[in-house]
Amino acid sequence: MTQRPRRLRSNAHIRALARQTRLSASALVYPLFVRDGGGVREPIPSMEGQRRYSADTLCEAAERAMERGVNKFLLFGVPDYKDEAGSGAYAKDGAVQRGVRALKARFGGDIYVITDVCMCEYTSHGHCGILRAGAVDNDATLECLARAAVSQAEAGADMVAPSDMMDGRVGFIRRALDSAGFADTLIMAYSAKYASAFYGPFREAAGSAPAFGDRKSYQMDWHNRKEAAKEILLDIAEGADIVMVKPAISYLDVISDAARISNVPVAAYSVSGEYAMIKAAAGQGLIDEHKIICETAVSIFRAGAEILISYYAPEIAGAIASGEIG
Ligand code: PBG
């Protein structure tokens, strides 16, 4: 018997038929930044091509993405007001809460809205939780996260996504949502979130860089692989509906492990630094932006992700629609 692997590569039809990774625009989530006020369309210098919007202009941005086939969004708040306790995270008229209401009023059931649950955008010190003696107090933070999640659910969020990495937050938020009458609001847990330098451009976009120290006491050490499995299994046991690995392209091994051990869908977040690297290299004429977008997106799904959160979601949807990938 002659083994001829190239038979499966001989023309476009057989290559398409033999593809081992299939993509769909229904698996894409597009992150958007929401500010207070109105009429905001502020370019984000660290993330060329992305903008901060207010609730009204957010609807226009969402509509453009929906025309390109993406109808799921992850909202991050960029509030004008910050304090030690991050109280803006659960303000009834906070940027995210207003943004969700506007999207739901405009698009109803045609749109799916996920909201980030974290304190770092709302605290004056930029840490993801409440400080006690200069360190993040895990249990005091849980109360705030739960309040934020409930206020987002009240605004109409379909799913909340805690990104803080406090211990026990998924179970705590689940109980708070259930007892507030939001048993059907889902939780996507940032389960394996590494203490990564790839978040640099986001911190400028969201104004959430820590004023002192770093996030190493709560985010994961990127030397560790099996620890991700521990976090993922804990979050599933606490009630996570979807688990996430973040960042994506330097963490394909972790995504692959997650796909094997998880009995809930696995999401990967291709973060701001991944986006900014591609933009910068393409801007210099060093790489073909579109081809790199396609190749990196496919690699993340090939590793085992079932959901991709990406600032390139509309471009990826376009490549799927044209048959270039997927
Ligand atoms: C908030 C949060 C961060 C990101 C998502 N949620 C920043 C951080 O942890 O410092 C990063 C997303 C990105 O880089 O695109 N905790």
Q: What is the pLDDT of residues 141-155, one digit of tens each?
A: 999 999 999 999 999
What does the DSSP assignment read for 12-36?
HHHHHHT-S----GGGEEEEEEEES
- For residue 128 and ligand 1, the question of a CB distance below 6 A is answered with yes
Q: Identify whether 97 is part of a domain.
A: yes
Q: Identify whether 193 is part of a domain.
A: yes
Q: Identify whether 172 is part of a domain.
A: yes
- For residue 163 and ligand 1, the question of a CB distance below 6 A is answered with yes
Pairing of strands 135-136, 131-132: antiparallel
Which pLDDT does position 125 carry in this prediction? 95
Sign of CA dihedral 285, 289, 292, 296: positive
Q: 6: which residues sit within 8 A by CB, 6+ positions away?
A: none
Give the domain CATH number at 206: 3.20.20.70
Which pLDDT does position 251 carry in this prediction? 98
Tens of pLDDT along 269-326?
999 999 999 999 999 999 999 999 999 999 999 999 999 999 999 999 999 999 999 9
Q: Identify whether 270 is part of a domain.
A: no
Mean pLDDT of 63-84: 97
Pairing of strands 28-35, 307-310: parallel
Q: 46: which residues sit within 8 A by CB, 6+ positions away?
A: 200, 201, 202, 204, 205, 272, 276
In the chain, count H helices and then E strands.
Answer: 11, 12
Ligand 1 center–CA 266 separation, angstroms: 18
Q: Identify whether 93 is part of a domain.
A: yes
Q: Identify whether 237 is part of a domain.
A: yes
246 is catalytic: yes
d(CA 131, CA 146): 17
Share of the chain above pLDDT 90, in %: 98
N-term to C-term CA, the chain: 31
193 is catalytic: yes
Residue 59: pLDDT above 80?
A: yes
Annotated catalytic residue: which of 72, 82, 246, 279?
246
Which pLDDT does position 1 carry in this prediction? 76
d(CA 249, CA 254): 10
Which pLDDT does position 222 carry in this prediction? 98
Range of the structural domain that residue 193 is part of:
24-242
Which pLDDT does position 2 carry in this prediction? 87
Which pLDDT does position 262 carry in this prediction? 98
Residue 228's pLDDT band (cuts 50, 70, 90) = very high
Q: Identify whether 60 is part of a domain.
A: yes
Residue 32: pLDDT above 80?
A: yes
Residue 115 CB coordination number (10 Å): 29
Residue 165's pLDDT band (cuts 50, 70, 90) = very high
Q: Identify whether 263 is part of a domain.
A: no
Ligand 1 center–CA 202 separation, angstroms: 6
Mean pLDDT of 73-93: 96
Total structural domains within the chain = 1
